[in-house]
Amino acid sequence: MSDKVIIFDTTLRDGEQCPGASMNLREKMEVARQLARLNIDVIEAGFPVISDGDFEAVSKIATEIKGPVICGLARCIAKDIDAAGAAIKAAGERGRIHTFISTSKIQVENQLKKQVDDVIPIAVECVRRARTFVKDVEFSPMDATRTDPEFLVRLLNAVIEAGATTLNIPDTVGYTVPEQYAELIGYLRANVRNADDVIFSVHCHNDLGLATANSLAAVRAGARQVEGTINGIGERAGNAALEEVVMALKMRNDYYGGVTTGINTKEIVKASRLVSRMSGLMVQRSKAIVGENAFAHGSGIHQDGILKKRETYEIIDPRDVGWGETELPLTKHSGRHAVAKRLEHLGYFLNEKELGSVFVRFKEIGDKKKFVYDDDLSVLVDDSIDAHLEGYTLDYIHVASGSSTIPTATVRLKRGEEILQDSSPGNGAVDAAMKTIDRILNQQGHLVEYNVQAVTQGKDALGEVTLKCDFGGGPLVTGKGASTDVIEASARAYLNAVNRVLSNKTQGQAAPASDAP
């Protein structure tokens, strides 16, 4: 059996299914580029049949991202397979189709309205169809951990014969526990015909907080592909956090029989921050590996030990996962070239127009704060590009508020040559700013979630606002905005959400489909 564990990232598919985490095309491309720098083996780029936007993202990733295998997801339905095959075409030999169908009695009988045995010919037919597009076909019996293992063996034998090369065993509802999952993987490897000619893969959800533990137990039992997401984002409690799986395999290589991954671990923290910003999902401070506090030692005894010898209380060198890699900050005197170079270093390859927008914001911020740090720059990229691509930009905002005044905002928006201005009172400065934007655009957004976070330290730090809005009917929309003034940051974030709705309409992006797995 190979010593290499294939790392399969589904941040852009299962991760993006998390409510309010949907990303636009630019954000997906940025995440995909960072996944390539991480040296991820397989990127599941999306579910092409679900919307034009997903199809476009998968095709663009297949065209532009070099290195990893690019995978498109498909139900066991002909039109899904055809869409996935077309979307990944540009990846050529690096293209993979991942097709799945429910196999547990509870899902097959209640959702598919079939009997479990009916699933075998459907799966075989779909794997065969997928093989007409690519040699690399992954098959998932959905809800495998609640499926009869003997039935799984019959089904897997049939799909291998039809041409499946990777067999993924999903713990779709996060039901299994480590010993039981390892037993299942061991049983399947022992009983499926030609098991050594295929890769057994695992895909764990975190409903019981066991996704990482289950994935690792499966590796001990012979799984050689682990699926998961950066920061563990995903439906409900999320998927296995790949940074945890990768670092556990690296640090406890002794226990896991010398297996290796090809991951460039120094890129982990950057990937985590990027995904957090792009998805609008914060990383909890105490999150393993990538949380702000993951390497912060509070107790005096620990600090003393660390100072004497780091390994006394730290099992991972923080630099190995990319902590502490910050460069000298830029200032308002830094030129466009220096900003472009630093952005490239951070993984942003912007065209001239985009760079121009970021540079304008950089100068504005540089006038307000002494140093512009790498994290500030990353936030400015989000803050400036999307608004300039499609929709409205904030031209001016004035808010009057205080303990004995009715908070009132005046806002001026620009879209091309069009200039729109109005004012409105509100229940506070932020509310007034958002109500004014609603009034100008003749809409009514409902704020579902609102977070403000200082991007760096210090009183002059940029405040980054991340919010989720309901504009009626569709999915929740995330908006992000940054400024040294949190009211302005809030207005920018709200406008960013509005612009995303506009751009989704023009890109024909659908709501996350109800039949998404």
Contact set with ligand KIV (CB under 6 A): 14, 100, 140, 142, 168, 170, 172, 203, 205, 517
For 301-417, list the strands marked E by DSSP: 393-400, 408-415
For residue 357, the surrounding DSSP H or E stretch is: helix 352-368
- 100 interacts with, out of ligand KIV, Zn ion, none, CB within 5 to 8 A per kind: ligand KIV
**In terms of CB distance, is 95 or 517 closer to ligand KIV?**
517
**In terms of CB distance, is 44 or 56 closer to Zn ion?**
44
Output the smallest distance, CB 224 to Zn ion, in A: 19
Output the smallest distance, CB 131 to ligand KIV, in A: 19
Residue in the structure block whose two tokens are 């041409």:
163
Distance CA 487, CA 433 (A): 8
Per-residue exposure over 406-421, b if at least 16 CB sit within 10 Å of its own CB, e if not? ebbbbbbbbbeeeeee
For residue 279, the surrounding DSSP H or E stretch is: helix 268-279
Half-sphere exposure (Cβ direction) of 430: Cα atoms closer than 13 Å: 17
Output the smallest distance, CB 15 to ligand KIV, in A: 10
Render 398-423 in DSSP notation, one character per residue.
Answer: EEE--TTS--EEEEEEEETTEEEEEE
- 142 interacts with, out of Zn ion, ligand KIV, none, CB within 5 to 8 A per kind: ligand KIV
Rg of the chain's alpha carbons, rounded to an integer?
24
Give ∠ CA 120-126-128 in degrees, rounded to 5: 105
Distance CA 31, CA 348 (A): 10
Output the smallest distance, CB 100 to Zn ion, in A: 9
- Binding site residues, Zn ion, CB under 5 A: 14
Output the smallest distance, CB 516 to ligand KIV, in A: 9
**In terms of CB distance, is 237 or 306 closer to ligand KIV?**
237
**In terms of CB distance, is 42 or 497 closer to ligand KIV?**
42
Q: Hey, how many other C-beta atoms are within 10 angstroms of the C-beta on 165?
A: 18
Query: What DSSP state is assigned to residue 483?
Result: E
Q: Are 204 and 234 in contact (CB under 8 A)?
A: no
**In terms of CB distance, is 344 or 515 closer to ligand KIV?**
515
Residue type, 28: K
At 155 the three-state DSSP class reads: helix
Strand order in the sheet with 477-483: 446-454, 463-470, 477-483
Output the smallest distance, CB 497 to ligand KIV, in A: 27
512: tokens are 């996350």
Alpha helices in 97-206 (DSSP H): 105-107, 119-131, 149-162, 178-191
Output the smallest distance, CB 139 to ligand KIV, in A: 10
Nearest to 355 by CA among 368, 337, 372, 332: 337
Output the smallest distance, CB 15 to Zn ion, in A: 9
56: tokens are 């476009």
At 130 the three-state DSSP class reads: helix
Output the smallest distance, CB 297 to ligand KIV, in A: 37
- 295 interacts with, out of ligand KIV, Zn ion, none, CB within 5 to 8 A per kind: none
**In terms of CB distance, is 22 or 140 closer to ligand KIV?**
140
Output the smallest distance, CB 348 to ligand KIV, in A: 30
Burial class (CB in 10 A: 0-12, 13-18, 19+), 220: middle
Output the smallest distance, CB 167 to ligand KIV, in A: 11
Q: Are 77 and 118 in contact (CB under 8 A)?
A: no
At 458 the three-state DSSP class reads: coil
185: tokens are 């993987």
In the complex, residue closest to Zn ion by CB:
14
Query: What DSSP state is assigned to residue 93?
Result: G
Output the smallest distance, CB 168 to ligand KIV, in A: 6
**In terms of CB distance, is 131 or 203 closer to ligand KIV?**
203
**In terms of CB distance, is 178 or 238 closer to ligand KIV?**
238
**In terms of CB distance, is 235 or 267 closer to ligand KIV?**
235
- 480 interacts with, out of ligand KIV, Zn ion, none, CB within 5 to 8 A per kind: none
**In terms of CB distance, is 172 or 272 closer to ligand KIV?**
172
**In terms of CB distance, is 14 or 386 closer to ligand KIV?**
14
- 140 interacts with, out of Zn ion, ligand KIV, none, CB within 5 to 8 A per kind: ligand KIV
- 23 interacts with, out of ligand KIV, Zn ion, none, CB within 5 to 8 A per kind: none
**In terms of CB distance, is 53 or 228 closer to ligand KIV?**
228
